[in-house]
């Protein structure tokens, strides 16, 4: 499980890749959370907007979904940088408060069933709202939405 995850805006993949060793820091607009696996979160969010449902997907369905692509090749240090799919970025940018609330509830239920007491103590609705704000910004100004985790 990733200890630190930061969703952030960057002008392009090269700028996002440059964050690999030090993280995005204050140079990029970002939203941070703890103990969240960004790749499964991104896949689950994408699945929600493509196939809306208040219920968490079965694990087999989630694992079969298209997962985000690495911006840099993974190494043995545990650091990962992913690009969020453009369609997910657009969906998050256009999401209503009700959609974000439903998705946060679904995401929370899945994490609670997977992680139990080790689940993040972050407010997942606030995380989603922050990422949606970032998505709206990138849709309006260009660039991309990424995640960095360690």
Residue-wise pLDDT tens digits, 94-150:
999 999 999 999 999 988 887 776 678 899 999 999 999 999 999 989 999 999 999
* The predicted structure's pLDDT at residue 119: 76
* The predicted structure's pLDDT at residue 120: 83
Report d(CA 23, CA 35) in Å as an integer.
16
Q: Characterise 78 by phi-psi region: left (phi > 0), alpha (psi -120 to 50), beta (else).
A: left
24: pLDDT strictly greater than 80: yes
Q: How many helices and strands in the chain, by DSSP H and E?
A: 6, 5
What is the DSSP annotation of 62-122? HHHSPPPEESS---TT--EEEEPPHHHHHHHHH--HHHHHHHHHHHHHHHHHHHGGGS--S
Whole-prediction pTM value?
Answer: 0.93
Report d(CA 133, CA 9) in Å as an integer.
10
* The predicted structure's pLDDT at residue 17: 97
Percent of all residues in the chain with a pLDDT value above 90, rounded to a whole number: 79
């Amino acid at each position: 499980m990733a200890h630190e995850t930061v969703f952030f805006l960057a002008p392009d993949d090269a700028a996002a890749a440059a964050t690999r060793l030090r993280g995005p820091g204050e140079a990029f607009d970002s939203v941070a959370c703890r103990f969240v696996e960004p790749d499964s979160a991104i896949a689950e969010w994408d699945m929600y907007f493509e196939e809306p449902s208040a219920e968490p997907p079965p694990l087999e369905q989630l694992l079969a979904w298209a997962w985000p692509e690495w911006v840099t090749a993974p190494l043995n240090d545990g650091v990962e940088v992913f690009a969020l799919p453009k369609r997910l970025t657009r969906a998050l940018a256009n999401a209503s408060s009700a959609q974000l609330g439903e998705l946060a509830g679904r995401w929370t239920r899945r994490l609670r069933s997977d992680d139990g007491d080790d689940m993040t103590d972050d407010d997942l609705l606030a995380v989603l709202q922050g990422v949606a704000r970032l998505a709206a910004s990138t849709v309006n100004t260009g660039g991309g939405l990424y995640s960095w985790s360690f």
